[in-house]
Amino acid sequence: MDRYLEFILNHYILSLALAVVTFLLIQELIDTAFKKFGAISPLLAVAKMNDSDTIVIDVREPDEFLKSHIENSINTPLGDLATTHLSKLEANKNKPILIACQTGTRSASAGKILSKAGFEQVFVITGGMQAWENDYKLPIKSENKQKNKPASKLG
């Protein structure tokens, strides 16, 4: 025991770092154990969208949403979700709700907000739109309309 104490005193920065990392890991385990929303892969999200009356919420900013989004998804920026858009979604508390963002980080925050508000079936799409578009190559809708360019004449 004396050697542990000696190590801690001689390497206080390492010991502090170990304590912080341990605390963060325990906090993450507790958050994961008590979260009331689930994670779902993009492929399972498509299956859920096809099987039931599912609502897809995209919590990215409007400019990100316009570049590409899941068809029939509702753009509700994360900053506005709790204040203005939550009341509009109130009628859908019993329906499955899929949440998407760019990488899956903002979706977890939105999942917490919706779960605390009493929504029963909340699912976060893992990997977000990056996984949807790049990894799984699933269809997207884009508001950026490309103009048809005339084909160049071959001489």
Active site residues: 101
What backbone phi and psi angles, to 5 degrees, belong to 68? -165, 145
C-alpha closest to that of 74 among 59, 93, 92, 94:
59
Buried-state track 54-83, b at ≥16 Cβ within 10 A, e below 16:
bbbbbbbbeebbeebbbeebbbbbbeebee
